[in-house]
Amino acid sequence: MPDLAVLVAKPDAEASIESLRAEGVYDDDRRVRERDDDRVELPVLAAPAETDVLATVEQTDPDYRSRGLDDLLRERGWSEAERERAPSSWAVVGDVLLADFTDCPRPGEVADALLTLHREADTVLDRGPVSGEFRTPTVTVLAGSGDTETVHVEHGTKYALDLSRVMFSPGNQHERARMGDLAVEGERVLDMFAGIGYFALPMARAGADVTAVEKNPDAFRYLAENAQLNEVSDSMNLVLGDCRDVETTADRVVMGYYDALDPDADYLATALDALAPGGTLHAHATVHETDLPDAPRERVEAAARNADRAVESVAVRRVKSHAEGVWHVVADVRLA
């Protein structure tokens, strides 16, 4: 069926839209379009029987509106109170859509609506908490094929992963790209908590020689697969195990783990022992906003004193909000 529009004089546009809506033929999915200096095209679902128009025409290149989740749910009979409990944000990782449906009524209906909005996705997951030493995610399939394995591409880096087995934080996208931008051709990098290669892969693609350590077997399997997928296997030394057991020397050390600055875990001591003079450390942490920026700086400086190392500079950057009043931050530290 062709897309129809009616021609009306510009001064009559608002009144005509109101009349067409009352008649039940106005098409809210398309935009009003100017026909010439005197007339506009109003999109309709069918030729009107009651509204006075100049002509009914076919549109060969209709201008569709970009509809949101709220629009779709309203059209499907959801009340305002119900729509307020639907997810307000979500992320598409590869062809899998992730959202938090904790307080959402009829989550399956919302998941179907999200698939309508995001044609590139074929599975919708309810993202629950992560747990355990390996930070294993909890997910529930709500709609689509149910395939949780995918390949996600960011700034040219390919990440193969299974979202039911390993973590992926869409909010860290800028930080992953930044690590690739900071990496220098031929520099030695130690990624102490490599995961599937979040930071290691962009740095290896930039020409760094990366030692990537990961103790979660599921994540390590994807780390190895991703090294091949991105054609950087020759630039990466992959280690399955505890980073505190790895002895190496690096010009840059990445600690992409929230407890990296825990003074009782010895991670900082390992990082400082591996870092060459003049090297840079990137240590991640979650910190209450009232403790910023002092707490991360003080932890790093205390560890440096214990290692008899001199700190040249510390810059604390906010990556994203982690919880109410709590920030995911990274301390960029240069040591003498």
Q: Which residues pair with 30 in a beta bridge?
A: 64
Asked if residue 85 belongs to a known ligand binding site, the reply is no
Strand runs labelled E in the chain: 3-9, 33-34, 39-44, 55-59, 90-93, 96-99, 123-131, 136-144, 149-154, 157-162, 188-191, 209-214, 236-240, 250-255, 275-288, 311-323, 326-335
What is the spatial distance between Cα 137 and Cα 130, in angstroms, rounded to a whole number?
4
What is the spatial distance between Cα 222 and Cα 130, in angstroms, rounded to a whole number?
18
Backbone φ, ψ for residue 101 (5° rounding): -105, 25
Q: Which residues have C-beta within 8 Å of that of residue 246, sequence separation ≥ 6?
A: 190, 192, 211, 213, 239, 270, 274
Asked if residue 169 belongs to a known ligand binding site, the reply is yes
Which tokens sit at 132? 């355990």
Burial of residue 99, with CB atoms counted within 10 A of its CB: 0-12 exposed, 13-18 middle, 19 or more buried: buried
Asked if residue 176 belongs to a known ligand binding site, the reply is yes
196: left (phi over 0), alpha (psi -120 to 50) or beta: alpha
Nearest Cα residue to 194 out of 208, 185, 89: 208
What is the spatial distance between Cα 135 and Cα 166, in angstroms, rounded to a whole number?
8
**Numbered residues of the known binding site:** 169, 176, 214
Going by the annotation, the residues of the binding site for S-adenosyl-L-methionine are: 169, 176, 214
